[in-house]
A and B are shown apart, each in its own frame.
Chain A
Amino acid sequence: MEFRDYYKVLGVERAATADQIKTAYRRLARKYHPDVSKEPNAEARFKEMQEAYEVLKDPEKRAAYNQLGADWKAGEQFRPPPDWGSGFEFSGGAGRPGGARRGAGRAGRSRAGAAEDGAFHEQDFSDFFSSLFGGGTPFERAGRGAGRDHHARVAIELEEAYRGTTRTLELRRPEVKPDGSVELRTHTVRVTIPAGVTEGQLIRLAGQGEPASGAGQAGDLYLEVHIQPHRLFQLEGRDVTLTFPVAPWEAALGASVTVPTLGGTVEMHIPAGAQSGQTLRLRGRGLPGQPAGDQYVQLKVVLPPANTPQAKALYEEMRSKLDFDPRANLSR
């Protein structure tokens, strides 16, 4: 695994005070928070920062991390020293940075998803972090009764939201071996995501969160759905909007046209006298649901170029024969 330079991630000196670390984290969190940031790779950067802050804000973890020495470079191949962990006792594991809940080590979390599935866990810290502060290390905590809920995000295409889809997820869970030690086991599960899910919607997978230790119930796994931007359709709730180019004569005279929808092409009638920017509705052609969404078709009149003698002659004829002033409103 690769060494992570947490001081570099937060842009602070190794001698930085707790206040300086907090200030640096807050400043960077404001810049890279996935809910507000437009920076590229904001999500990945924010995770790095959360992990770095989780260690550097905690005096015990920071002291342990500092023991590794100042000679390591970010990205260098790393293995924890054989005596790693002796002499330290942490009050918490990989808790949520800035949050109130503590005590969940690496082994207490599920890892959801390979990159190709577009799924990842919200608090999934790196293997580097896990090797130092959780997941079979001397700092691992055991036994809290009921398991906690876990959260992951899953990215799907708009077509998948329309017709439903499946995702294969890898869930890593701790299992107690006969000798009492804890081992991480990977379970591969296939999740059926029903048709009609919308942006930000939560999917609950009962009992797939943190396992119970003792008589309690296992937690649930929640998948938060994110629908990728589409080449043609813009999504809002369950409704989709399509910008649809039409010829001037189709708009002027009316026409029957073939329109793409998420469920395939349909015939649509453009009324005579339609204008560019006008929106027509195809009821129930958005994402399925109760009620199903609609598809809005926004007309865009596209002018043919006057690049041939024949086309020029037609435009000349329109100019001479049509009583049309597009700027009539300006002269009132």
Chain B
Amino acid sequence: MVRVTHRLEAHVLGESDWIAATEICQLCRLDLGAVMELAELGVVAPREIPPGEWQIPATALPRLRVVGRLIHDLGVNVSGAALALELLEAQRELERRIRSLERLASDH
């Protein structure tokens, strides 16, 4: 029997959340220069509120965390990781379509 010592309420980081770029850096193991480079490459769309302080939508977190892992674990640079991310996403979309077509074509 598991004895629960605390009950925690979770906060889901969703569409309405914007996160300071500095916090994004910690969460995704990226430096600020990399985040801004990813913005230039179109991977994320930051906003500047107030002037000089950048924020990133929380919805971008899953993609940025993949980029951070690719950079740290595989030793690729920022643009290489961004390219890999887009190719991985394209691959997953194609796999999804293939699965969908296979379901249509299958006997059951």
Contact = CB atoms under 8 A, between A and B. Distances in A.
A33 B99 contact: no
Interface in B63-93: 65-66, 69-70, 72-75, 84, 88
B8 A189 contact: yes
Contacts of B100: 234, 241, 243, 298
A163 interface: no
A203 B27 CA distance: 12
B12 interface: yes
A36 B88 contact: yes
B65 to A, nearest CB: 7
B5 A188 contact: yes
Interface string B1-22: 0111111111111111000000
Interface in A222-256: 222-224, 234, 236, 241, 243
Contacts of A203: 10-13
Given A33-B73, A168-B4, A192 B9 contact: yes
B12 A201 contact: yes
A283 B58 CA distance: 25
B4 A190 contact: yes
B66 A35 contact: yes
Interface residues of A, number: 48
B66 A26 contact: no
A145 interface: no
A33 B85 CA distance: 13
Contact of A206 (B11, B16, B75, B103): B11
A201 B27 contact: no
Contacts of A168: 2, 4
A236 B96 contact: yes
Contacts of A97: 72-73
B6 A187 contact: yes
Contacts of A46: 73
A96 to B, nearest CB: 7
Contacts of A26: 74-75
Contact of A192 (B10, B29, B58, B62): B10
A243 B103 contact: yes
A234 B99 CA distance: 9
A40 interface: no
B29 A33 contact: no
Contact of B74 (A33, A101, A192): A33
B10 A96 contact: no
Given A188-B5, A243-B104, A204 B88 contact: no
B96 to A, nearest CB: 7
Contacts of A29: 73-74
Contacts of A234: 96, 99-100
Given A202-B27, A206-B11, A243-B100, 10 more contacts: A26-B74, A33-B73, A36-B84, A188-B3, A188-B5, A191-B8, A197-B12, A201-B62, A202-B65, A204-B13
Across chains A and B, which 5 residue pairs bring their CB atoms closest together, nearest first?
A200-B62, A243-B103, A189-B6, A203-B10, A190-B4
Interface of B: 2-16, 26-27, 29, 58, 61-62, 65-66, 69-70, 72-75, 84, 88, 96, 99-100, 103-104
20 contacts: A35-B69, A50-B73, A96-B29, A96-B72, A188-B2, A189-B7, A190-B6, A192-B7, A193-B12, A200-B61, A200-B65, A201-B12, A201-B61, A203-B11, A222-B27, A223-B10, A236-B96, A243-B100, A277-B104, A298-B100
Interface of A: 26, 29-30, 33, 35-36, 46, 50, 96-99, 101, 149, 151, 168, 187-194, 196-197, 199-206, 208, 222-224, 234, 236, 241, 243, 276-277, 289-290, 298, 300
